[in-house]
Chain A
């Protein structure tokens, strides 16, 4: 069964996982989102929790409603997500990482940059 941690509400964790799938290109722009039922049984979650996660993604401008067809991934959603993730990394994760690198005495040339 799925493991959910206790730091965040589950709907928020599901929204994060769906956003990660979107970033990975597994959910493509302009394509329909999986239905609430499919997500509920896929992640073993109450449908209300799934709806809240979709609402959160919608509030972030990542989804669009098409009349009679349901929810779709909004074109440009990936760029929007990547921009948000980038600014979050630069604002919060990077300063902590930089501090750690400095403390450990690791220079850019010590790091393996090959993908």
Chain B
């Protein structure tokens, strides 16, 4: 399968700030890829580079096109919701559908209406009368009605309550993820999105610190739950991170810990949040330090 995205040595600099630093990764068809990073880590810059809205150095191919050169053609072939997306408040949902149908050659008004009917939004509702969660669902329905193989969502659920976030992800899973199309989605809500993902791209200060499938994460990283009395022996084996669990203490290792250390505890499924903390250490968020 040809990858939908291929990046090799991708870099982006704003003046003195290195926003993206030598990123190389691929996104295959049929994946749900989480783009994770702190504020300012480069998530939005990367997404803009992928859709050709921001020039970057290095090799980049998206849907077989070069974003910097083929921006118009590319934007017609992917579904993109930027972090600053706004729908006009005066418009009715049905008017938005007509509007997009007139602008976008691969948009299906019929499918958009079918997707809207799955939500609690009415076609004649005005955007300004909808809750924030409903507006985001309308936006998703609009971009999911584009005949595309790649969707790029920049912090789509930011500021939504838990029920709206759930409704958003249900719509995404049910109506977009068909095993062929892929979605790249940036978010801070790692715990919530973890089980939806097939792959993770983790950015820290412009560098890609992890690009791996969830399956390979489970294979490569080992979390070891252990009794507090074993803490010293576990610490001596140099884990990436030590943290508390409901049942006691745990440590995260890159690769299998030595057998005598592994014997001190029970192997746990490594959580993405702990991995994120371990790989993007910043003192203010190392919530479980100081054991």
**A residues neighboring B (CB under 8 Å):** 1-2, 4, 6-10, 37-38, 40-41, 43-49
Contacts and interface: CB of A to CB of B under 8 A. Distances in A.
Nearest to A35: B174
Contact of A37 (B32, B174, B196, B245): B174
Interface in B44-89: none
A9 B123 CA distance: 42
Given A1-B166, A37-B173, A44-B173, A6 B195 contact: no
Contact of B192 (A1, A40, A43): A1
Contacts of B210: none
Given A6-B223, A9-B218, A45-B195, A40 B177 contact: yes
Contacts of B169: 41, 44
B268 A7 contact: yes
A92 B178 CA distance: 41
Contact of B177 (A4, A9, A38, A47): A47
Contact of B173 (A1, A2, A10, A41): A41
B195 A44 contact: yes
B158 interface: no
Interface of B: 32, 162, 166, 169-171, 173-174, 177-179, 192, 195-198, 214-215, 218, 223, 225, 245, 266, 268-269, 271
Contact of A40 (B173, B215, B225, B266): B173
Contacts of A1: 162, 166, 192
Contacts of A7: 266, 268-269
B269 A8 contact: yes
B198 A48 contact: yes
Contact of B214 (A2, A8, A46): A46
Residue in A4, A7, A44 with the greatest tally of chain B CB atoms within 10 Å: A44
A46 B269 contact: no
Residue in B178, B196, B223 with the greatest tally of chain A CB atoms within 10 Å: B196
A37 B177 CA distance: 8
Nearest to A5: B269
Contacts of A6: 223, 225, 245, 268-269, 271
A46 B198 contact: yes
Contact of B196 (A8, A38, A46): A46
B166 A44 contact: yes
A8 B192 CA distance: 18
A46 B197 contact: yes
B151 to A, nearest CB: 15
Given A8-B269, A9-B218, A41 B195 contact: no
